[in-house]
Amino acid sequence: MKLGARGVSRSVKALSLCVAVLAPATLAAAVEPARACSCIPPEPWSYLEKADGAFVGRLVSRTESGNGRAVLLFSVERAVKGKIGDTVAVETVSSGAACGIETSVGRRIGLFLMREGEGWFGHLCWQVEPEDLLAAAALPSPNGSGPVALFVGGRFGAARTLALDAKGRTLAYGMGAGYVEKYSVCPGGRRVAELVTAKPSAWTSYTVAIRELPSLRLIRQQPLKSKQWMGDPFRCMDASGEQLVVFMSDPDLPRRARLVRFTPPRATTIWRGIASYGSLGSRVAFVQVPRRNGETVVTVSLRNGAVEKLGTVPVHGVYQLVPNPGGTRLAGHSSEDPRLLVIDLSRRPISVRTIADPTDFGDILWLQDDRFAYFGNNYSGADSQILVYSAALRLRARVSGWKPGDMPALVGFTAYGVSVKGPLVSAKLPSGRLRVVRRLPGEAYTIASATR
């Protein structure tokens, strides 16, 4: 295989960078200059291992050297691999259509290199975002296999998201600033939406980011105009990530709420009214309207905003109501009169069961067999637990050792948890012991299952 008039060194084969497209693209330098270059997005950890050199820098100048080649001079911000000084000259194919490096003077890029004699050679398919290259140098190489099972959001060097397999091993890193508050897997499972803030739990300004799965490649970002959020307010509604629904509250009037559909670049209010909390199902939102004798539960269609009254829960301070996988029940807990509750949606008016809440606060996640796990937090200092209940609110099992502040997620019948300074932990429910899975490469603020 030839690039211009020279033979390519062993590094091209070692890198295996554009297996299907490199040969025809490079041959095009001599015979078809108009052919477009097509590159597989680089996987920086594997590329860094195989490359002869790598750096982050900015283009200073470009000189055509003949024979279909050009020499690009870069100022080096950071040499990641290889003996690279403050500046480096990189030879490439002249034509971007033949996969020659394409960048403008002053632009910051990351680039993998191979040795050609005493010099360096680069290629458009080896060009990456600087943050990705720096992360590859700072973070452990992904070692997971299989589909994405979990997302963990936090601060991991240049990354804010980890994609993990079912054993808790890293599959990919999602680069970017800020902190993820929520995840929502889009229908079809090929994309995931992130709700991002500048600081964890800041409740200031939000951005939605759409990533490709399983690579976590960033597809787009969209700022959202909101100052405060409630409950579990965020859902991706279509496979492309173009339609998102958010349950929002007013920062000055917390009980004045809206359901908003975001489609780039537009925001449409589906419903507005007085509400305590809301949660999102696949087709409707479950909204809690405060009343003197409790809280009235209504559904709001995510398609057209149509409202249906379901009935009243006879307690106040009910936190988000979590739908079960079949959409036939809701589970939640109240804070003013601490109680757990389950609502049967098959009846009109709805049927409500309650029992005393044994902890200060907690998170609820449904299992696949119509039981739910209550991840209780005793902030008074007592040992927190995972409590497994039937839909009839009968206690079936408990797991000790759950720590206050841990965020939970479920993959099948396995519960996972993270906290800011703690490890990734797991327990097989209903009664398996809590165990440490691994230490994470940074600080974790949230976790979510990749199962929609």
- Containing domain of residue 203, as a range? 138-449
Q: How far is residue 425 from each of residues 362, 367, 431, 445, 448, measured CA to CA in Å?
A: 17, 18, 15, 14, 13
Q: What is the DSSP letter of 318?
A: B
The residue among 105, 120, 135 that closes a domain is 135
The answer to whether 409 and 376 are in contact (CB under 8 A) is: no
Q: What is the rounded distance in angstroms from the CA atom of residue 397 to the CA atom of residue 390?
A: 10
- Is residue 353 located within the same domain as residue 321? yes
Residue 91 sits in the same domain as residue 203 = no
- Regarding whether 396 and 252 lie in a shared domain, the answer is yes
Given a contact cutoff of 8 angstroms between Cβ atoms, the answer to whether 134 and 158 are in contact is yes
Residues 6+ apart with CB under 8 A from 323: 279, 281, 286, 329, 330, 366
pTM reported for the whole predicted model: 0.80
Residues 248 and 307 occupy one common structural domain? yes
Q: Which residues of 127-153 are buried (b: 16+ CB within 10 A; e: fewer)?
A: bbbbbbbbbbbebeebebeeebbbbbb
Please say which residue of 102, 119, 135 terminates a domain.
135
Residues 124 and 142 in one domain: no
Q: Tell me the one-letter amino acid at 193.
A: A
Alpha carbons within 13 angstroms on the beta-carbon side of residue 115 total 10
User: Is there a single domain that holds both residue 331 and residue 373?
Assistant: yes
What CATH number has the domain bearing residue 228?
2.130.10.10
Q: Which residues, including other chains, have CB under 8 Å from residue 201's CB and lie 6 or more apart?
A: 181, 445
Torsion 337-342-345-349 (CA) sign: negative
Q: Which two tokens stand for residue 174?
A: 């999602």
160 and 108 part of one domain = no
Quote the CA–CA distance of 224 and 207 in Å, as a whole number. Answer: 5
Number of domains forming the structure of the chain: 2
Residues 105 and 157 both lie in one domain:
no
Last-in-domain residue among 103, 135, 167: 135
pLDDT in tens, the chain (452 residues): 223 333 333 333 334 444 333 433 333 333 333 347 888 767 788 888 889 999 999 999 999 988 899 999 999 999 999 999 999 999 999 988 889 999 999 999 999 999 999 999 999 999 998 988 998 898 998 999 999 999 999 999 889 999 999 999 999 999 888 999 899 999 999 999 999 988 776 556 788 999 999 999 999 998 876 555 545 578 999 999 999 998 887 655 657 888 988 888 788 899 999 888 888 988 999 999 988 888 999 999 998 999 999 999 988 888 889 999 888 999 999 887 789 999 999 888 899 999 998 777 889 999 988 899 999 876 655 567 899 999 999 999 999 888 867 889 999 999 999 988 889 999 999 989 999 999 999 999 999 999 86
